[in-house]
Chain A
Amino acid sequence: MMNNLVILPLLIPLLTGVLLIFFRKQIKVQRYVTTLSLLLLMAATVVLTHQVSVEGTQTLNLGGWEPPFGIVLVADMFALLLILATVIVTFCCVLYGYRTIGEEREKHYLYPFIHFMIVGIMGSFLTGDLFNLFVFFEVMLLSSYILISLGGEKGQLRESLKYVLINIVSSMLFLVAIGYLYAITGTLNFADLSVKIAETGQDGLITTVAIFLLLVFAIKAALLMYFWLPGAYSAPPMAISAMFAALLTKVGMYAIFRTFTLIFYHEAAITHELIGWLGVATMILGGIGAVAYWDLRRILAYNVIIAVGFIMIGLAVFTEVALAGSIYYLIHDMIVKALLFLLGGIMIGLTGTNQLREMSGMIRNHALLGWMFFLAAFALAGVPPLSGFIGKLLTLHGAIDEGFYVMAAVGLITSLMVLYSVMKIFMNGFWGENQLSVEDEKMSTKGLLFPCAILAVLSVGLGVGVEWVNVYVLQAAEVLNNPQLYIDAVLQN
C-alpha cells in the first residue's frame, strides 16, 4: 500500500531541526517549537499506526522508483510501535530537559541535534534497505556524538572519544558487510534479499556475512560488546542520558530483529543460537555490573545492558509467542528506562552526588519521587501488574515451550539481580536518616515530576491495559514471524 504519510516521521523532525538552527538565542521559541513538533509527530504516528493496523503494512517508494531498485520506506507494526514509544520518550525527556539542561547547552544547538537524532532513529526504523540503514545509523550517531560531548566537561570529552572511536570502527565494519552481501546477492533491499536468499538457500558464505552483521549491530545494541556503554551513558546531562538509554541501543536491537527475522532466518541453529548465548552472557555480565557498583548512574547504565540480553532471548527462541514477548518488553524497556534515568537524575540533582552511600532519607521530603522510583523499580524487574511482567512472561513462556531452559533460568535469575540493584538505590536513597533538609537541596523538583508521571502512568497502563495493547503487539509479531507479509507489502503494490 503506497502511503505518503510514511514520510512524516522523518520530515517533521528534520524540518523542525533545520528551523530551530535559526533561533539559536531565543530559547523560549526553541522550547515552544520543540514541544509543538513532537506533539505533531505523535499525532502523525498515531494516525499511521491506526492505518497499518487496519490496512496492513504501508510503504512509500521515494521518487516513484519501484523496489528493489529505488529507496523504499516501510512502516510495519513493529517499526511503528517503536516509533510511537520513541516520540513519547523524547517528549518526556525534552520536558524534563527544559528545567535541567541549562541555557548554555540550549543555546548551542541542543534542540536541533535532538531533532536530528530523532530523524536518524525514525529512519532506521522505517528504512527498507540495508544501505539506508547505514545512512540513518550515521545520522543518529553523528547527532549523538554531539549530544554526548555538548557542554565540554572533562568526563564528557573523555567518554565521547571512546564512544566516537568505537562507533566509527563498527560503522566501517558495517560498510564492509554491506559490500560482501552486495557481492553475493546483488541487492540490498530487505525484501529482495529475503527472496533471493530463500531461493538460493543460505550457504556458509551468507551465514558468515550474517554473523558479521550481527557483530556490527551487537556493538551498537550493546549486546555483549557493551564496554563503551556505562561510561558513555554516565557522561552527559541526565535528560540526554535518559534519551540515549531509552532509544539508542533499541535501534541496534531493531536492526538485529529486522535482519534475523526477515533475511537470515534459514540457519537458525547457528545464528539464532549464537544470538541467544550472546544474550545470556550479556545478562550475566550486566547483572554483575549492576550489583557491584554504588554509583547511581553506573547501576542504571548496567540495567540497560541486562535488558538487551533479555530481549535477545525472544529472538533466539523465534516463535510468535516469544517474539511478541520481546516486542512487548522492548516497548516497556524504552518507557521504564527513560523513567528510571529521569528519576535518578532528580536524586542526583537534589543531593549533588552520584554515590549511593552519600544519600539517604529522601522520602521524607519527596514522597512522590520515592514512590514513583519504587514503581519503576518493580516495573523493571517485571512485577505484575506493571508493564515488564507481560513481556517477561511471554518470552519465558516461549523459551520454556521450546526447551531453552538455561536461557529462561538466566532470565529469571537476572531479574532478581535487577530488582536487587534498583532496590539498593531505593533503600539507600529514600530510607534511613534524613540528611538533607529542603534548604540544603541543590535544586527544586518543580516541574520535573510531571514528565516522570506521564511515563509512570504509561508503564502502569501498558501492564493493566494488556488486552488493548496486545492486538498491536501480535500484529507486529506476526509480520516478524512471517517474512512473506513484509515481502508482499514491499514488492507487490
Chain B
Amino acid sequence: MEILMSVLAGILFTAGTYLVLAKSLLRIVLGTAILGHGALLLLLTMGGIKTGAPPLLGLESTAYTDPLPQALILTAIVINFGTLGVFLVIAYRSYQELGTDDMEELRGTDDE
C-alpha cells in the first residue's frame, strides 16, 4: 500500500509541476491544487499506514494507528482549500483587469 501511495504521490507531483509551468493562468492554479494533493498524500504515507485499532481508550489491541498524520492532513486540506480559493479569485480578477491569462504577457516591469 505504501509503495502504491508513493507512486501516486509522484504522479501527482509530476502532473502538478507540468501544469504550474504552463502559460495559461487557470492551468497554473489547477497545478497548485494538484501539487497540494501530492504533498498531502506524501504526508499521509510518510506517517505510516498501519493496520491497527483506532487509538481509543478501551480498545484492546497490540497495534494502534498513528492519528497524528491524519490530524495534520485535515488541517493542511483546509489551508490548501483556502489558498486555492484566494488564488482563483486573484487570478480571475487579474484576468478581468489585465485582459489576459497568458503569463508570458505578464512579465517585466512597468517602465519597460
Residues on A facing B (Cβ under 8 Å): 131, 134-135, 138, 141-142, 145-146, 149, 152, 154-155, 157-158, 160-162, 164-165, 168-169, 171-173, 175-176, 178-180, 182-183, 188, 231, 295, 355
Contact = CB atoms under 8 A, between A and B. Distances in A.
Interface in B27-60: 28, 32, 35-36, 38-40, 42-43, 45-48
Contacts of A176: 39, 42-43
B42 A157 contact: no
Contacts of B24: none
A180 B46 CA distance: 6
Given A138-B83, A154-B97, A165-B20, A178 B35 contact: no
A418 to B, nearest CB: 22
A168 B87 contact: yes
B90 interface: yes
Interface residues of B, number: 36
Contacts of A231: 109
Contacts of B97: 152, 154, 157
A131 B75 contact: yes
A161 B91 contact: yes
Contact of A172 (B36, B87, B94, B110): B36
A182 B90 CA distance: 34
Contact of B86 (A134, A142, A162): A142
B111 A295 contact: yes
A171 B43 CA distance: 13
Given A158-B106, A165-B32, A175-B40, A142 B83 contact: yes
Given A145-B87, A179-B45, A182-B43, 10 more contacts: A131-B75, A138-B79, A149-B90, A157-B94, A169-B35, A175-B43, A176-B43, A179-B47, A295-B111, A355-B111
Nearest to B84: A168
Contacts of A179: 39, 42-43, 45-47
Task: Tell me the interface secondary structure of chain B in the complex.
Answer: helix
Nearest to B20: A169
A169 B47 contact: no
A184 to B, nearest CB: 9
Interface string B1-42: 000000000000000000010000100100010011011101
Contacts of B98: 154, 157-158
Contacts of B79: 135, 138
B49 to A, nearest CB: 12
B86 A169 contact: no
A138 B110 CA distance: 29
B72 interface: yes
A165 B109 CA distance: 18
B47 A183 contact: yes
A142 B36 CA distance: 15
Quick one: which of B25, B79, B93, B111 has the most chain A CB within 10 A?
B79
Contacts of B69: 182
Nearest to A184: B46
A355 B93 CA distance: 28
A161 B106 contact: yes
Quick one: which of B32, B38, B45 has the most chain A CB within 10 A?
B32
A169 B83 CA distance: 11
Quick one: which of B76, B82, B106 has the most chain A CB within 10 A?
B76
B76 to A, nearest CB: 6
Contacts of B28: 165
A168 B40 contact: no
30 contacts: A135-B75, A138-B82, A141-B83, A142-B83, A145-B86, A145-B87, A152-B97, A155-B110, A157-B93, A157-B94, A157-B98, A158-B94, A161-B91, A161-B94, A164-B86, A169-B20, A169-B35, A173-B39, A175-B39, A175-B42, A175-B43, A179-B39, A179-B45, A179-B47, A182-B43, A182-B46, A182-B68, A182-B69, A183-B48, A188-B68
A175 B77 CA distance: 11
Nearest to A298: B109
B67 to A, nearest CB: 11
Contacts of B47: 179, 182-183
Contacts of A168: 32, 35-36, 83, 87
A161 B46 contact: no
